[in-house]
Structure 1
Amino acid sequence: MSKSRVQLHHYDPAWPLVYKEEYKRIRQVLMDDKKRIEHIGSTSIPNLAAKPIIDILVGIPQLGKFTECVEPLSSIGYEYVPKPEWKERKFFRKGPKGNGTFHLHICEIHGTEWTEKLAFRDYLRTQPEKAKEYEALKRQLAHSHQEDRSLYTEKKTPFIRSVIEDMYSQKS
């Protein structure tokens, strides 16, 4: 398994602009009103430190048809990276391995992956105290797992799950 260094950067106000430009490129090759494209991840949350990788979520009606997206995305520099452990989404990377500039996730629109990723993003955008708590955890994990991005990501999961569970319990 490939391991790459975790380096967090202070929030860059250019990240949403970079996303918008990439959105246009993706939209050109995936022209279909049934698909939705969203900026997710830490670069989508104002004032949150992040790895300088723009995470993009593409929602499609049926995940089984994601293969229709492989060639068009390849034409604009995306590489499909099979991750058999991810059952509800497909992963694409753009940029050098270990130092990519974009991570693109395809999932079923309105499925669990879609709903939870957008809910987590939207929650942190409106709850700056929780966003700062998340940033503190990310900084601690980046320090203790700086040579292992996979472990860094894995260790963030309990925090993310707890926020999502809290959001759902508040709606009940």
Structure 2
Amino acid sequence: MTNSSRPRRPDVTTVEIIGGPEALTVGLSDYDARWPEIYRRHRRRILDALAGADVDVEHIGSTAVPGLAAKPIVDVVVAVPDITAEEDYLDGLLAAGYELRVREPGHRLVRTPARDVHVHVYERGDAAVHEYLLLRDHLRTHADDRALYESVKRDLIGRRWNDMNDYADAKSEVILAIKARARAARP
């Protein structure tokens, strides 16, 4: 969909969170074998909404790791050719029923009205996409790190969080350590 002759626009320079901070109101659920099917349904919905667009779609986050407890929110990452060309992807996602939640440099987040599916949009080649897949793939194959990550999540979820982003930030230290082991384990 993107016209390669079109000059690239500057990306947004601020973080816009539509609706403001939201308290974390969901707890952890044991792994649910329905999560991959929910992902597949939304993958199809996204591809239909972006018909003809050159995008990559992947299931990320804890719901993408069999056996891992997770907040019951399925995370999807979509890589697009040009994050600044919102008309190539955002209009279609909004028309498909997703709602814009975050617009920030290099990243857009849309989600279902029920808030049970989050779709993260990045530009193809963005390091964040690689990092999501690195963590997902490592946790799928390393039970010790999967158990460690779940233990940290269970500890943190028991606390009060005025903003879901604060909960996510609190997991950063263990995520960085697991990703370091994932990189070291690569051939």
**Normalised by the size of structure 1, how large is the TM-score?**
0.88
Residue of 113, 125, 150 corresponding to 1:110: 125
Paired residues for 1:58-137 under 5 Å: 58-84=78-104, 87-96=105-114, 100-137=115-152
Structure 1: gaps spanning 5 or more residues:
none
Identity over aligned residues, as a percent?
A: 30
Give SS of 1:82's match.
strand
For residues 140 and 83 of structure 1, what CA distance do their matches in structure 2 show?
30
- What one-letter code is carried by the residue in structure 2 that aligns with 1:58? V
1:54 matched residue in structure 2: 74
Q: Kindly indicate whether the alpha-carbon contact (under 8 Å) linking 1:6 and 1:145 is maintained by their aligned counterparts in 2.
A: no
Question: Displacement of 1:122 after TM fit?
Answer: 0.5
Cα shift readout 1:119-167 (whole Å, capped 9, x = no counterpart): 1101100111111110000000001235642221110111112222333
Secondary structure of the residue that 2:157 maps to in structure 1? helix
Aligned twin of 1:24? 44
- Structure with bigger helix share is 1
Aligned mates of 2:53, 2:89 — CA distance in 1: 14
Structure 1 residues 154 and 83: alpha-carbon distance in aligned structure 2, compared to 1, 3 A threshold? farther
Partner of 1:141: 156
- 1:33: how far off? 5.6
The alpha-carbon deviation at position 104 of structure 1 amounts to 0.4
Partners in 1 of 2:147 and 2:116 — Cα distance?
24
Q: TM-score, normalised by structure 2?
A: 0.81
SS in 1 for 2:78: strand
- Cα offset for 1:24? 0.9
Residue type of the alignment partner of 1:115: H
Contact persistence 1:6–1:147 (CA under 8 A): no
Conserved in 2, the CA contact under 8 Å of 1:78 and 1:93?
A: yes
Q: 1:144 aligns to what SS in structure 2? A: coil
| Structure 1 position 4, deviation (Å) | 2.8
Q: Is 1:40 matched up with 2:78?
A: no
Deviation at 1:106, TM superposition (A): 0.5
Give, as a single letter, the amino acid of the residue that structure 1 aligns with 2:171.
Answer: K
Tell me the matched-pair count: 167
* Structure whose alpha-carbon radius of gyration is higher: 2
- Aligned residue in 1 for 2:179: 164
Preserved contact between residue 5 and residue 147 of structure 1 (Cα < 8 Å)? no
Note closer, same or farther for the CA distance 1:72–1:167 as it changes in structure 2 (3 Å cut): same
Unpaired stretches in structure 2, ≥5 consecutive residues: 1-20
CA contact (8 A) 1:58 1:106 kept: yes
